Structure 1
Amino acid sequence: MLKNMTFLDEKKAGQLPVLNLAYIGDAVYELLIREYLLKKENVKVKNMHQKTVEIVRAEAQAKALNEIDSHLDKSESSIVRRARNTKINNPPKSVELADYRRATALEALFGYLYLSNNFERLLELFDLIKIKQN
């Protein structure tokens, strides 16, 4: 599937609207979490799904961004800052707005790295995130 995908250079990826980056980044981050759980857990799919939902919720993503924030380079920090500060029209009422903004920023960062074909850096940052499990 990825063989035929056309990636963007970092500049073009960075110029995309941050909510578009977050849209794809949400899927990338969830896929990484699912793969992580599949490799780490020997549990039923239903339980893996419940753990995935816990880990990808906005509060957990906001914490994940806090864990990698100090490791970001200038262009990555710029994406995060733009995404965190973007206007969000309909934030969920069940989540603190600050957490939702930080979660969106994490998703935008992962979308940016994915679209610019920077998988090595994407996985490097993902490895820095301490996934909490019950």
Structure 2
Amino acid sequence: MNFNGLTLAYIGDASYELLVREYLLRKGLTKVDNLHKEAIKYTSAEGQEKAFNFIESSLSEEEISIFKRGRNSKSERKARNASLATYKRATGFESLMGYLHLSDNIERINELFIMIIDGFENA
């Protein structure tokens, strides 16, 4: 797969967002305002950086390489409501999720997502 880091991040952001939304619905949240407030904890740049921190030690060399491809990508977009370092790490995380999604590696995505949820719930 020869997509650049930002392209992987584009699909990874959507893939991760859908996982989070499904998780929150299955958790029993039904009011849209509450869903949105909860989702932001996971999907903001800060939330994605935290998610990456929860899984980083479990990643393979290839997964770290994909993360770095996204993190080091040159973007025209500016970080909003986050430091540049946090924004870049979030982009790297999205790239990893996009790579796994496009590789149809659903089992690995689910493994990592369980680690992320455990991390957030035990933080």
TM-score, structure 1 normalization? 0.83
Partner of 1:109: 96
Shift of 1:36: 0.6
Matched, 1:40 2:27: yes
Alpha-carbon distance in 2 for matches of 1:132, 1:29? 17
SS at match of 2:120: coil
Identity over aligned residues, as a percent?
Answer: 48
Partner of 1:65: 52
Shift of 1:132: 4.9
Structure 1 ranges of 4+ moved more than 6 A: none
Shift of 1:68: 0.5
Unaligned runs of at least 5 residues, structure 2: none
Residue pairs, 1:1-134, within 5 angstroms: 12=1, 15-129=2-116, 130-132=119-121
State the Cα deviation string for residues 28-68 of structure 1 (Å, max 9, x = none): 00000001101113441221122112321001100110111
Q: How many residues align?
A: 120
SS at match of 1:131: helix
Shift of 1:102: 0.7
Alpha-carbon distance in 2 for matches of 1:42, 1:29? 18
SS at match of 1:91: coil
Unaligned runs of at least 5 residues, structure 1: 1-11
State the one-letter code of the partner of 2:120: I
Alpha-carbon distance in 2 for matches of 1:61, 1:132? 15
CA RMSD of aligned residues (A): 1.6
Alpha-carbon distance in 2 for matches of 1:56, 1:49? 10
State the one-letter code of the partner of 2:53: N
TM-score, structure 2 normalization? 0.90
Tell me if the contact between 2:5 and 2:66 (Cα under 8 Å) persists in the aligned partners: yes
Which of 89-98 and 107-116 deviates more?
89-98
